[in-house]
Amino acid sequence: MEKEYLKWFLEARFGMFIHWGIYAIPARGEWVKQQESIPEGHYQAYFDTFNPIHYDPAAWARLARAAGMKYAVMTAKHHDGFCLFDSQYTDYKATNTPAKRDLIREYVDAFRAEGLKVGFYYSLLDWHHPDYPVAGDRIHPYRNKPEYQDHRGNLPRYVEYMHHQVEELLTNYGKIDVIWFDFSYDEMRGEAWRATELVQMVRRLQPGIVIDNRLGGNIKAREPEIYAGDFASPEQIIPPKGVTNEAGEPIPWEACITLNDHWGYAAWDKNWKSPRTVVRVLVECVSKGGNLLLNVGPTAKGEIPAECVEILSQVGKWMHRNGDSIYGCGHATMERPEWGRWTCKGNRLYAHILERGIGPINLRGLEGKIAYARLLADDSEIRLERPWNAAEYPDDAFLSFPTAELPDEWDTVVELVLK
């Protein structure tokens, strides 16, 4: 019953989110214009001086691939309205900054060349476009400015612009694998965006594309709107039990998570998650049937912060050894074990051992069901045995783990092949 075009997405499990724009210059996150109500005139200075001399998307793509990521989603336009791509419908774009070129095209080419699937994030909100309504809007940067109290904009005209830009993005850059609309709120949802028509156009231009769920529909409904999207997009949280629809069936989801506490570059935010945490979060997502879209916020000069590079490289080393327990895997039917988590693929179970405990490792209910067990990192055998003191647990199988401590403290993976 799963949609065929979602197959790659569900197998990929791990992707890179990239938030990049002229807000990298103030370097206080992508909402800075809104949070500080920065006047257009001042924000313009960022546009006039945006010059990413070190932008090397091939290096970003290599980093993503080495980290074990299979796809990427980059901001073609964020809420501030600035376009990294060369749109014929606006002057507010990278080609008119000192960068002087279409930064999206280079991204697409580089990531494709590295064998990664390519996606666009596109903001439905627009804090630059004169037709976007300010009066009555709960979010707009200038909502409290007296001179904007009567600014009703022209929503139909803005939506026309928005549709045109989506059409450009899905026409001018070859095959695009993901479109990530962001976001809907209050009355600004569904048909306010002409969402049915928008999605029909998206599907016509890019038949196999995967669409997120932020156009304002209800993806959990028994009969979701056509624009409800292909996957749920929990943000900065991992759903406790995965995501199910109103009929109780699991549905595709992708958690988007930052590496520090900001999406866009934030020069002073050093609250980095450790590679160990990233690995465990990824495993948690997969064990609950979801994907992880992990964010980086490159600098105005075009570089992914060194800390991110280091974290992702470390994650990549773990993925090199243990990727088989991630790609194409989903949740197992068994309950979460005390020592860690399960992921599963066909007749293979992956025991993600996060806590060594003592003695043999208990595999509940699996007695007689396992053909063999191996340490996934190097395919070395882990013996199954029935210890003398396990007589009271006849339904359980036991791994005789050879060491008192785990060889991989982040997550030691044992592959169990079922009979």
3 state SS of 226: coil
Q: Measured between alpha carbons, how far is 40 from 148 in angstroms, rounded to an integer? A: 13
Region 17-56 residues binding ligand GLC, contact defined as CB under 6 A: 19, 30-31
Q: What angle do CA 361, 364, 368 make, to 5 degrees?
A: 95
In the complex with ligand GLC, which residue's Cβ is closer, 19 or 288? Answer: 19
Q: What does each C-alpha distance from 100 to 47, 58, 94, 103 come to in angstroms?
A: 11, 19, 6, 9
| 284 binds ligand GLC per the rule CB under 6 A | no
Quick one: 31 or 47, whose CB is closer to ligand GLC?
31
Comparison of 228 and 256: residue with beta carbon closer to ligand GLC: 256
Q: Which of 61, 72, 232, 256 binds ligand GLC (CB under 6 A)?
A: 256
Minimum separation from the CB atom of position 252 to ligand GLC (A): 16
153 touches 133 (CB < 8 A): yes
Q: How far apart are CA 346 and CA 365, in angstroms?
A: 18
- Least distance (Å) between residue 183 CB and ligand GLC: 5
Whole-number minimum distance, CB 12 to ligand GLC, in Å? 18
Strands (E) across 78-187 are located at 117-123, 178-182
Determine, following the binding rule CB under 6 A, whether residue 235 of this chain makes contact with ligand GLC. Answer: yes
Cβ 17 to ligand GLC, closest distance in Å?
A: 7
Based on the shown chain and the rule CB under 6 A, indicate whether residue 263 belongs to the binding site for ligand GLC: yes
**Are the beta carbons of 199 and 215 closer than 8 angstroms?**
yes
- The count of chain residues that interact with ligand GLC, using the rule CB under 6 A, is 8
Q: Which residue minimizes CB distance to ligand GLC? A: 256
Residue 269 as a binder of ligand GLC (CB under 6 A): the answer is no
Number of helices (H), then strands (E), in the chain: 9, 15
Residue 206 per-residue DSSP state: -
Q: Smallest distance, Å, CB 363 to ligand GLC? A: 37
Q: Does 183 bind ligand GLC (CB under 6 A)?
A: yes
Structure tokens at 164: 């045109």
120 makes contact with ligand GLC (CB under 6 A): no
Rounded to the nearest 10 degrees, the angle between the axes of helix 103-113 and helix 57-66 is 40
- Tell whether residue 255 is a contact of ligand GLC (CB under 6 A): no
Whole-angstrom distance between the N-terminal and C-terminal Cα of the chain? 27
| Residue number with CB closer to ligand GLC (31 or 142) | 31
- DSSP label of 5: G
Q: For residues 68 and 264, which CB has a smaller minimum distance to ligand GLC in the complex?
A: 264
CB 59 → ligand GLC: shortest distance, Å? 23
Residue type at position 111: F
397 by DSSP, 3-state: which?
Answer: strand
Cβ proximity to ligand GLC: between 263 and 339 the closer is 263
- Rounded Cα distance between 256 and 291, Å, is 9
Among 182, 230, 303, 415, binds ligand GLC (CB under 6 A): 182
Q: Give contact residues for ligand GLC (rule: CB under 6 A).
A: 19, 30-31, 182-183, 235, 256, 263
